[in-house]
Amino acid sequence: MSKNETTHGNSKDIFSIYQENVNKLFTGIKQSVPQYHQSITNVQQEYLQAFENVIDSTITLQHEYVKKVGIATNVPEATLKVIHDTTEEFVKAASLQNQVTLATIDATQQNIKTFNDNAKSFADLNRNILQSWISAFATKNN
């Protein structure tokens, strides 16, 4: 029997009412997930753009100030190398962190799928045990 048949088969049965309301709840949640995902993505992109704009504006302002005041901005080669090397290491670390985060998310998703499969198997096992008990203890009409 399908969910719809169960839900509408006996509208006064408590389990049918319970199932119908649970279905409505999850349908509502499932419909909102893409909206939340898009909103979070939009906020992240807007934040990143705002942060980039602040940094760019700060650098531009500092550059203009230093130029007008006449401060020398040349940096020794060794300092340039340290700055470039530090930036490269930071980019590598961020990339590694992203890989670990994505792997963790993938593993979590797989664990949830495994839990879901196990929950279904557990429910089937319990159904079989219950049916076995009912069969064993049911009075036989002869």
pLDDT value, residue 137 = 83
Cα separation, 42 vs 55, whole angstroms: 20
pLDDT of 61 > 80? The answer is yes
User: Using an 8 Å Cβ cutoff, are 73 and 66 in contact?
Assistant: yes
pLDDT of 5 > 80? The answer is no
pLDDT value, residue 139 = 66
pLDDT value, residue 11 = 67
- What amino acid occupies position 125? L
| Residue that is written with structure tokens 């029997």 in the block | 1
SS3 labels along 91-105: HHHHHHHHHHHHHHH
Residue 51 tokens read as 């942060």
Claim to verify: residue 33 and residue 58 sit in the same structural domain:
yes
Percent of the chain with pLDDT over 90: 83
2 φ, ψ (degrees, to nearest 5): -80, 170
Question: How many structural domains are present in the chain?
Answer: 2
Cα separation, 136 vs 117, whole angstroms: 29
- Which structural domain range is residue 41 located in? 1-73
Claim to verify: residue 63 and residue 101 sit in the same structural domain:
no
Claim to verify: residue 49 and residue 90 sit in the same structural domain:
no
Express each pLDDT in 68-92 by its tens digit: 999 999 999 999 999 999 999 999 9
| Residue that is written with structure tokens 């670390």 in the block | 93
Express each pLDDT in 45-58 by its tens digit: 999 999 999 999 99
Claim to verify: residue 29 and residue 67 sit in the same structural domain:
yes
Claim to verify: residue 39 and residue 107 sit in the same structural domain:
no
Report residue 10's pLDDT band, with 50, 70 and 90 as the boundaries.
low
pLDDT value, residue 136 = 81
Claim to verify: residue 3 and residue 65 sit in the same structural domain:
yes
Claim to verify: residue 110 and residue 46 sit in the same structural domain:
no
